[in-house]
Amino acid sequence: MADAANPDPPQSHPQNLPKVLILKPPPIFPHFESELSLHFHLLKAYESPLPTPEFLAAANASGVSAMLASGGYPITAADPLDHLPSLRCIVTTSAGLDHIDMQECRRRGIAVAFAGDVYSDDCADAAVGLLIDVLHRVSAGDRFVRNGAWSSQRKFPLANRLGGKRIGIVGLGSIGCRIAKRLEAFGCSILYDSRQKKPSVPYTYYSDVCELAASSDVLVICCALTDQTRHMINKEVLSALGKEGVVINIGRGPIINERELVRSLQEGEIAGAGLDVFENEPWVPEELFALDNVVLSPHIAFATREGFHDMFELVKGNLQAFFSNKPLLTPVVD
């Protein structure tokens, strides 16, 4: 506690700190809220019983110029942008931008900073982990032992080798390139589909995702969710992948037509799937729970202690840069 001779410096008082609006806390927030509060006056709309517009009015948020966003809260013109006329910067902890109306932000002159490649290594590790789990039946073997099936002399199905597999990567961005490097080390062949061919990589390019699927043993989905990629992995693509094919999705759930994926798995039209994301999170189709060739994960491919610490530093750095009239560290560039 400060004494009368040594009062707290003015900048330590929240009211004297730059205001940052938070409509829904991002995943890093519970771990770094106290540290972030040392630098910014946090307006926590999610703690209020009031609807967002009423909270913003009560908190006098019309003058707020910066927001910390979470992928779980859509940022649109009507909610909340129309209620934030002074907003000039959105810092999101997500690598994807499907929750932000970027066209509206550009029209209003709102700069957006995103996660950049902070989570890329963690997501790549998770994708490879899911693939190894599906092929080598790691989770299925764990259940087999825990349920007492091993001791009852039941036979466990043979696994599949990862080495030599043809891996089709859908979206060869920061995460996709890291997945490719990891799987090259296992002796896999890398194919890819992306918005455009990348002359700097030694992998085989396919402009059509269905043709990519037909040439692959595994499809790894790590592209962004857009109007063009929504339900891009459909019945035709899954059929092209074939009965020995495996799907890994660490991108966004709606990139896959989930109903068709469930049907393909149930009917044996593909061999398995490793899924970290789903179409209507946190709801997961119950049909998947009974399938031993499916590995499920609760959208945590990005979530590591190290990644969260790096993300906190990036969030703090982006906000400090904005309030200091300096360039954002990880701006979204058209």
Residue 9 near residue 30, CB atoms below 8 Å: no
pLDDT of the residue at 13? 63
Q: Please indicate, yes or no, whether residues 36 and 175 belong to a single structural domain of this protein.
A: no
Q: Please indicate, yes or no, whether residues 108 and 226 belong to a single structural domain of this protein.
A: no
Q: What is the pLDDT of residues 176-185, one digit of tens each?
A: 999 999 999 9
CATH code of the domain in which 290 resides: 3.40.50.720
Percent of the chain whose predicted confidence (pLDDT) is above 90? 87
Instruction: Residue 166: count other Cβ atoms within 10 Å of its Cβ.
Output: 15
Choosing from 35, 47, 236, 281, the catalytic residue is 281
pLDDT of the residue at 4? 44
Residue 210 near residue 233, CB atoms below 8 Å: no
Q: Please indicate, yes or no, whether residues 80 and 131 belong to a single structural domain of this protein.
A: no
Q: What radius of gyration do the chain's Cα atoms show?
A: 23
Choosing from 137, 178, 182, 299, the catalytic residue is 299
**What total of structural domains would you count in the chain?**
2
pLDDT of the residue at 96? 87
Question: Which residue segment(s) compose the domain that 172 sits in?
Answer: 120-296
pTM: 0.90
Residue 302 near residue 252, CB atoms below 8 Å: no
pLDDT band at residue 9, thresholds of 50, 70 and 90? very low
Q: Please indicate, yes or no, whether residues 315 and 240 belong to a single structural domain of this protein.
A: no
**Which residues have CB under 8 Å from 263's CB, separation 6+?**
269
Angle of the 29-37 helix axis to the 305-323 helix axis, nearest 10: 40
Q: What are phi and psi of 66, to 5 degrees?
A: -135, 145
Q: Please indicate, yes or no, whether residues 264 and 142 belong to a single structural domain of this protein.
A: yes
Strands (E), 238-303: 246-249, 272-275, 294-296
Is residue 331 included in any domain, yes or no?
Answer: no
pLDDT of the residue at 2? 43
Choosing from 137, 182, 252, 279, the catalytic residue is 252
281 catalytic per annotation: yes
Q: Please indicate, yes or no, whether residues 72 and 19 belong to a single structural domain of this protein.
A: yes
